[in-house]
Amino acid sequence: KTRYATGEFTADISADLTVPAVMVIDRQANYPSVGSVVTMERRPMQAVKAVGCAEATIEKSMKVYRDGQWAEASAFRPGDRVRVTLTITADDDLDYLVVTDPRPAGFEPAEQLPEPVWSDGTCFYRENRDSSTNLYIDHLRRGSYILSYELYAAQQGVYTSGAAELQSQYNPIVTAHSSGSVITVNTDE
């Protein structure tokens, strides 16, 4: 389907990719044109591996509060208080970072209202969205930082805990994401 006025179109070329070949993108007339090829792949969330850049990395873990202490877990019971811990390692001073952490379905934020939070000597602003928690950091000095927020397990089921993504707003080359995982909420856990 070609879009009116721009000539933009999308075509599935997966059938053409069975053997190595050369692809040529060429304009059809003497006017400015732009062309691109985008590949997409669907993978299970647990197959997503952490990827960092030269300036930063991010790791994500989840802990449950039971018997008076926090313990690493990937299986929870309805009503459990869960702490999401994001470990950011910055190899350089970074400015204006946004961390977007998709919240697993079936979990609700313990703190509903957005607020500034102090952790590990840095201040970040936490904002809860419908399906994610966003952290905004104005300045992050070189070093390792542990930022955390809490959720409640609300519904039974098997959910994906999406990869937390870190991105510099004014330097898009600075981007990293954590690995993905699958978590369960079950009364039999």
Structure tokens at 124: 């970040």
11 vs 70: CA distance, rounded Å:
50
Question: How many angstroms separate the CA atoms of 57 and 188, rounded?
Answer: 35
CA–CA distance, 79 with 156 (Å, rounded to integer): 10
Residues 22-41, mean pLDDT to the nearest whole number: 76
Q: Examine the pLDDT at 189 and tell me if it is beyond 70.
A: no
Position 43 confidence tier, pLDDT thresholds 50, 70, 90: confident
Whether 56 and 98 have beta carbons less than 8 Å apart is answered as: no
Instruction: Please indicate, yes or no, whether the overall pTM of this predicted structure exceeds 0.85.
Output: no
Residue 95 has pLDDT above 80, yes or no: yes
